[in-house]
Structure 1
Amino acid sequence: MGVKGLQSFMERCCPEACVTVNLREMARQHVAKNHQGPTLVVDGMSCLSHWYSCKDWVCGGQWREYVDILKRWVEAFTSADIRLVFFFDGVVEEQKRQEWVKRRHRVNRDVSKIFSHIKEYGEQPDRLSCLPSSLATFTPYALRSLGQEVFCSVREADYEIASYAYQHDSMGILGQDSDFIIYDSVPYLSVAKLRINSLTTIMYDRQRLCRNIGLAVTQLPLLACLLGNDVVSEEHMQHIRNNAMTIYRRTSSAPSSGAPRDHVVQAVAQFVNSLCSPEDEQNELVPQSLNAPTPLKELLIKGICSYLLPGQKGFEIVDISALPSAFEKLVSPEILKVCREKHVAADGFMVYSVVCAGVTECSNSLEDEEDTELLPQALVYKYCRQRIYGLLLLLGQESPSVDYPVIKEWFVYPGNLLKEADIVHPVPVHLPYGEPSLDFLWLSTGPEVSALRLTAFLSIFDCLEFSDLYGAIEDSLLAALCLITYIVLQVQTLSHEDVDAYLSQAVCMRLKSPLELQQIELPLFSSRAVQLGSLYVRGLSHLVGANNASGCPLPSAALMPWHNFDGQLFHSKYLLAHSGVEKTELLDSDLSCLSQFLQLKEKLLEMCRKRGRILQSKPRAPQKSVKPAPGVRNKSAYSGFSQNVGGDWRGRGAKAGHGWRERGEERRPWGRGGHRGGGHRGGGQPFHRFHPSSYEERPVDMSQPPKHFSGRSYPERGRYQRAPTWPHPPAP
């Protein structure tokens, strides 16, 4: 985010403002001047693409290697006695939602190109990359496990970073966002230019920039808004920039060569200077001489205020009043307080956004929009999220309120144009002990509460039968079994081979050293395995959300991907499972691993039988050859495997039009009692529904008799549907 073109303008047209600095020396100078240890405030979101440098990024993440990279990165600063404080985005402010949507569409186009390349050449592309799913979710946990101080923002993260650094007189801000040039805060240091071995980087000096373009630092926010930022779009200010360019061309003697954006920055700076020179006392945020119409002036004031920090002139007009919780009538003040505290400490994924904002979002995943067999992760985990919402908002409620709570979901998946949020209704989670309240679940103590929390967690994934495994197997394996079982019940096209790949990966990873995982060599990449790996990691984030909503019955460490998932290892297990190797070979010829694998597989199959889900063997036969990528001479490494093991389902005898997208239908989550109903989602596009005609087409809970709907009617997208009354899950 930030101001388009401003940073590159400084590099090309104002090189004196781009100063090479040594962070060790900066730290020593900071101590001598301030008589306190130096603190560097790190914009975590800007750093993700620089931190994640693992080889096979397309497989879902080499998480242990990634944690090792973070550890070495942190140690480089601690060796220089520099304290690090990390900030991550915790919310997407509604005023920036459209910019968020635009970015998601741009990433979607890259994802489509990535899958096209994989299917054509059997390898990940060199010129495109996409960070593993949920990297921003799990990185704060990884940093906290390394003893670092981590914060999650409750408003725009850039603002909280600049404000924290300003108020704590920090040594600098390390990030990659031109907004840090605009904030009148501490020095802004580039993470993209950082050389970690020497601890040198570039400092973008706002004072020198202002001397170059003839502005005062206090005029930078107006410059940013006229150029266009995340609050004031470029489109809103286009006519002002056009006028500024007309004047600039008429009055400037500068040559016409150079990047067009550089001339725009110069022209707008000249225009701002003409409105109010740096020497003048600026009493108004928007000079009267701008003659802007009232709506435009109000938008500019809003944009300028977004850069004003506590203690700075004009900050008193900034509206910082805390918004009330979206569901303060459904949860107690104590729960609201805990939600916020855990969120700020980067330890409360999902619960804050649901309880306090009523909105949640999920960025892009590696999903192949042309694969008609695999559901998008947003739909796979929808029913799980509905139960999380139900646990947070409906637990302990005697009866549904008149204003039935709904959550707005901004989830990226193929076919979703993101013109408006999906409206999702919570599903009640029925627990023993007479429908306890959320306060009891979260804040009480005792063995009965611990058992209740585990029951709540397992109920979210409809895996209560696994309660007897708690304490008998490692927590990470229990979590993996719950997740894999849930995926199998949701995704009808998963086969025995897919399950074997998931389970063998989870079992074998515990015995692999980081070096062994890094040394895995894949003969090729399967587009289907790529999507299944991404699906699994997104599921881990849902495990974290469910654990938080349940009062944390499992230690959060057990749910972290570096303890139960490695993308390269999963990909290798997928290729082996579908090539028909013996289970012994799949389990690395380790008898203890084989025994545990068989135990978990039997538990999963038993659950499937109870739910009416018949798992079938469906090996994906390797193709005879793979087209080599440009520059690849030797194809022998690819022989014997399929680069697109998913193949074309139409070529296997299925009738055209039977894919869930091509039917024009939504594959409804497998919850009991799927009911008919209408409704539409954003942009007038139909929010498709799938109505199975028999129990063979969807999993059901055979341990419970079917129940009719008898719940309250509530509106959804202009129509009324009947809220289902869900059967109580069986006791553990």
Structure 2
Amino acid sequence: MGIPQLQSYIEKACPSDCFYKVNIEQLAKNYREQTGGYEPVIVVDGSSCIGFIYKGLDWAAGGQFKQLFEKLDAFIKSFKRIGVRLVFFFTGGTVGPKRRKWIERSYQKQDEIHMIFDKLAKGWQVEELEKWHMLPTGVGSYDRFFFQYILQCEVHVSVDEDDTEIAHYARKNQCFAILAQDTDYLIYEGAPYYISALHLNLTSMSSYVYDRKKLMIHLGLETFHMPLFASLAGCDRVSFEDLKPFHRRIKFEFNKPNQFVAVAEYIKRYGFNSEESIFDSLTLIAKEALNDPEARNVLEISIRCYMSSTPLYTIPSTDHPHWNDILQRAEELHRFHHSLQPNMILNVLSGEPFEYGYSFEDFRKEELPKSGCLLRPIRMRLYGILLHEKPPKLDPILVHEWSMESLNSLEADFRVKPIPPIDAHPGLLALWSDDRTREMQTARWQLFAHSLSPDLDFGVLTDLPDNLILPTAVFFFLQKKNFLEEWEIESLIATVVALPSVPTEKLASLPANPVNLRAVQIGTIYMQAIFISILVFSACGYPLPASQVFIHPYFDGKLHQKMYSKFEKNTFPYSLMDPDQDLGDDLERNRQLSLFSQIKARVFLSS
């Protein structure tokens, strides 16, 4: 992310004071001394850091969420031990200018997944594929919930650009560092230190700092030059590929070995003395850099996104007071209540697209439905709940979806029409209120259950343990779609029922090989459905408090692989807690078998 090749340039070609090793505990101590005892706060770009935190856990089988929680807990404790508080930000979606880059990355990631599937099918071991390690489906969505509801951290999900909001928060709250791996933080005015997540060592609490000020000195640029520098070097908003002819030309013209020094020389030639003077010359710059004077608009958008004087994006108001109240409340729940609502709720209400990117599925084969398409009916009913009160005079009530569900499905967006709820809808403001009367709770449960399936009676959910409510609703949906064998759904039920009682050491010791690719894709569909069910649960005002919904690890890929193998061979495991029966006592074993039987009976109720 950020500016292509700039990280490598600053690490390998710049003076040593641009990139140097630091002890974070000492940095925090220095900060306290310099500020008269202020608490050191690091803003963490969660979206760019989670991949480094997840390292070491199984990824090919579908993810290990129980172990992920332990790693997140250890991560937090490492910073608490040295007196540093962490504030987390996660991306809320792709803003318009970055859509093309998001599509390119989605296709690239999906190609890598297909390659991984091919190698696993040929007998490669998971360990041999480590250089293609990527986050399993769901990890990038659930980590924020673990941080917020289990570890009690301050968590934000962006409405504007993620890195823009991080830099704004760090600057406004005088945070002493940003922990990330995104060269855009060398451009923004944010915190004094930009600490590398890639080089973070939690044992020694050391990492490397990318020094923005020293980079500017090296390039001979001022602070107000940096947004233009990023835009001409190539970033998420201005295509690096489109700038390559310009880079070749100015490297020759200024006799410089790389594009970064050449771009700096090009900027200095104009003699700019302020931000506004740059905009006066932008038409000429667009013609010289992109061979198109009309491209000044692209450059201006890019530059303003980096400028500290640019205000954060806010949801625009309409001429309809009641709808404005809904939008305002949705933004409050998203932004000011530490992201009580997932970002997709606000996106849909404000007319932004719904995103459904790459996942661990094989789009070249048709043996299983693709989750993006399979789950669309649930999303349509979700849209029906959210847009039920949207005034007809506003834009056509359609939701634009960027959904990865075939090899070329991102060539254009899908225009999706909401399905109106079949139950009484008390209004979003009422659903999102503190009203917990029996009547309102019934409305919430009915809307939720019928969004998953019109045939689902919410009464089959409400007396289950908290960790089994969403999975059971999903199992019911999957059973109704009639593409899985009964034993395949049973293997999922067994995984979810057993997971709370299996120690993490046991999960870690389960074999990573061989990987059953059909089981991986079934696990992906299940996890995507869990995430959609969370969105519906949120839209309905949480029939159960969020703190009871978001604290559960709903899946473990390696445990599912083992359960899938057992059920495929028709060897029903006597002990769900451990198919080899070396853990647990009779009481726990019987409890799990009872839960398994209850859920199975409810899921296959009408089959």
TM-score scaled by length of structure 2? 0.90
Counterpart of 2:93 in structure 1 is 91
Q: Distance in 1 between matches of 2:553 and 2:142?
A: 12
How far residue 8 of structure 1 moved from its aligned partner, in angstroms, is 1.0
- Listed one character per residue, the Cα deviations across residues 542-584 of structure 1 (whole Å, up to 9, x for unaligned) are 1110101111002335544843321111111001110110353
Q: 2:442 is aligned with what amino acid?
A: A
SS in 2 for 1:420: coil
Q: Distance in 1 between matches of 2:474 and 2:247?
A: 53
Q: Does 1:201 align with 2:207?
A: yes
Aligned ranges for residues 588-599 of structure 1 at < 5 Å? 588=579, 590-599=589-598
Counterpart of 1:654 in structure 2 is none
Task: Kindly indicate whether the alpha-carbon contact (under 8 Å) linking 1:503 and 1:601 is maintained by their aligned counterparts in 2.
Answer: yes
How far residue 239 of structure 1 moved from its aligned partner, in angstroms, is 4.1
Counterpart of 1:341 in structure 2 is 332
Q: 1:449 is aligned with what amino acid?
A: M
> Structure 1's 401 and 287: CA in aligned 2 closer, same or farther, altered over 3 A?
closer
Match of 2:413 among 415, 418, 421: 421
Task: Kindly indicate whether the alpha-carbon contact (under 8 Å) linking 1:89 and 1:153 is maintained by their aligned counterparts in 2.
Answer: yes
Give the gaps of 5 or more residues in structure 2.
288-292, 582-588
Task: Kindly indicate whether the alpha-carbon contact (under 8 Å) linking 2:146 and 2:551 is maintained by their aligned counterparts in 1.
Answer: no
Match of 2:174 among 160, 164, 169: 169
Q: 1:21 is aligned with what amino acid?
A: V
> Structure 1's 427 and 30: CA in aligned 2 closer, same or farther, altered over 3 A?
same
Q: Does 1:379 align with 2:389?
A: no
Counterpart of 1:32 in structure 2 is 33
Task: Kindly indicate whether the alpha-carbon contact (under 8 Å) linking 1:241 and 1:264 is maintained by their aligned counterparts in 2.
Answer: yes
Q: Does 1:451 align with 2:445?
A: no
- Listed one character per residue, the Cα deviations across residues 352-373 of structure 1 (whole Å, up to 9, x for unaligned) are 1111234210221100123311
Match of 2:247 among 241, 244, 264: 241
Q: 1:469 is aligned with what amino acid?
A: V
Task: Kindly indicate whether the alpha-carbon contact (under 8 Å) linking 2:493 and 2:596 is maintained by their aligned counterparts in 1.
Answer: yes
Q: 2:196 is aligned with what amino acid?
A: S
> Structure 1's 158 and 175: CA in aligned 2 closer, same or farther, altered over 3 A?
same
How far residue 471 of structure 1 moved from its aligned partner, in angstroms, is 4.3
Q: Distance in 2 between matches of 1:217 and 1:330?
A: 42
Q: Does 1:525 align with 2:515?
A: yes
Q: Distance in 1 between matches of 2:313 and 2:510?
A: 53
Aligned ranges for residues 551-630 of structure 1 at < 5 Å? 551-560=541-550, 562-582=552-572, 584=574, 588=579, 590-607=589-606, 609=607
Q: Distance in 2 between matches of 1:106 and 1:39?
A: 35
Q: Distance in 1 between matches of 2:283 and 2:472?
A: 63
How far residue 329 of structure 1 moved from its aligned partner, in angstroms, is 5.0
Q: 1:342 is aligned with what amino acid?
A: L
Counterpart of 1:214 in structure 2 is 220
Identity %: 25
Range with bigger deviation, 292-301 or 27-36: 292-301
Range with bigger deviation, 116-125 or 63-72: 116-125
How far residue 451 of structure 1 moved from its aligned partner, in angstroms, is 1.5
Q: Does 1:3 align with 2:3?
A: yes
Counterpart of 2:584 in structure 1 is none
Task: Kindly indicate whether the alpha-carbon contact (under 8 Å) linking 1:165 and 1:172 is maintained by their aligned counterparts in 2.
Answer: yes
Q: Distance in 2 between matches of 1:566 and 1:362?
A: 22
Task: Kindly indicate whether the alpha-carbon contact (under 8 Å) linking 2:450 and 2:456 is maintained by their aligned counterparts in 1.
Answer: no
- Listed one character per residue, the Cα deviations across residues 29-83 of structure 1 (whole Å, up to 9, x for unaligned) are 1111122111111111110110112432112211010010000011010111111
> Structure 1's 503 and 283: CA in aligned 2 closer, same or farther, altered over 3 A?
closer
Counterpart of 2:585 in structure 1 is none
SS in 2 for 1:32: helix
Q: 1:10 is aligned with what amino acid?
A: I
SS in 2 for 1:57: coil
- Listed one character per residue, the Cα deviations across residues 659-698 of structure 1 (whole Å, up to 9, x for unaligned) are xxxxxxxxxxxxxxxxxxxxxxxxxxxxxxxxxxxxxxxx
Task: Output the aligned Cα RMSD.
Answer: 2.4
Aligned ranges for residues 309-388 of structure 1 at < 5 Å? 309=308, 315=309, 318=310, 322-324=314-316, 329=320, 332-344=323-335, 345-349=338-342, 350-388=344-382
Q: Does 1:534 align with 2:540?
A: no
> Structure 1's 26 and 516: CA in aligned 2 closer, same or farther, altered over 3 A?
same
SS in 2 for 1:357: coil
Counterpart of 2:130 in structure 1 is 126
Task: Kindly indicate whether the alpha-carbon contact (under 8 Å) linking 1:59 and 1:567 is maintained by their aligned counterparts in 2.
Answer: yes
Aligned ranges for residues 415-494 of structure 1 at < 5 Å? 415-432=407-424, 435-443=425-433, 444-462=435-453, 465-490=456-481, 492-494=482-484
- Listed one character per residue, the Cα deviations across residues 109-156 of structure 1 (whole Å, up to 9, x for unaligned) are 101111101111164323312201122211111101201101111110
Counterpart of 2:190 in structure 1 is 185
Match of 1:291 among 263, 279, 284: 284
How far residue 13 of structure 1 moved from its aligned partner, in angstroms, is 1.2
Q: 2:301 is aligned with what amino acid?
A: K
How far residue 486 of structure 1 moved from its aligned partner, in angstroms, is 0.5
Q: 1:137 is aligned with what amino acid?
A: S
Q: Distance in 2 between matches of 1:358 and 1:499?
A: 34
Q: Distance in 2 between matches of 1:195 and 1:30?
A: 20
> Structure 1's 100 and 534: CA in aligned 2 closer, same or farther, altered over 3 A?
same
Q: Does 1:264 align with 2:259?
A: yes
Q: Distance in 1 between matches of 2:572 and 2:274?
A: 80
Q: Distance in 1 between matches of 2:548 and 2:371?
A: 22
Aligned ranges for residues 655-666 of structure 1 at < 5 Å? none
Task: Kindly indicate whether the alpha-carbon contact (under 8 Å) linking 1:134 and 1:538 is maintained by their aligned counterparts in 2.
Answer: yes
> Structure 1's 283 and 448: CA in aligned 2 closer, same or farther, altered over 3 A?
closer
Q: Distance in 2 between matches of 1:67 and 1:289?
A: 48
Q: Distance in 1 between matches of 2:401 and 2:34?
A: 48
Counterpart of 1:20 in structure 2 is 21
> Structure 1's 287 and 392: CA in aligned 2 closer, same or farther, altered over 3 A?
closer
How far residue 321 of structure 1 moved from its aligned partner, in angstroms, is 6.2
Q: 2:84 is aligned with what amino acid?
A: I
SS in 2 for 1:150: strand
- Listed one character per residue, the Cα deviations across residues 564-605 of structure 1 (whole Å, up to 9, x for unaligned) are 321111111001110110353557463332222122212222
Counterpart of 1:730 in structure 2 is none
Q: 1:65 is aligned with what amino acid?
A: Q
Q: Distance in 1 between matches of 2:124 and 2:282?
A: 61
> Structure 1's 497 and 34: CA in aligned 2 closer, same or farther, altered over 3 A?
same
> Structure 1's 528 and 299: CA in aligned 2 closer, same or farther, altered over 3 A?
same
Q: 1:456 is aligned with what amino acid?
A: L
Range with bigger deviation, 265-274 or 39-48: 265-274
> Structure 1's 462 and 82: CA in aligned 2 closer, same or farther, altered over 3 A?
same
Task: Kindly indicate whether the alpha-carbon contact (under 8 Å) linking 1:141 and 1:347 is maintained by their aligned counterparts in 2.
Answer: no
Range with bigger deviation, 574-583 or 44-53: 574-583
TM-score scaled by length of structure 1? 0.75
Counterpart of 1:65 in structure 2 is 67
Q: Distance in 1 between matches of 2:559 and 2:543?
A: 28
Q: Distance in 1 between matches of 2:486 and 2:507?
A: 24
Task: Kindly indicate whether the alpha-carbon contact (under 8 Å) linking 1:180 and 1:188 is maintained by their aligned counterparts in 2.
Answer: yes
Aligned ranges for residues 542-557 of structure 1 at < 5 Å? 542-557=532-547
Quick check: which one's helix share is greater? 2
Q: Distance in 2 between matches of 1:558 and 1:568?
A: 25
Give the gaps of 5 or more residues in structure 1.
253-261, 310-314, 610-732
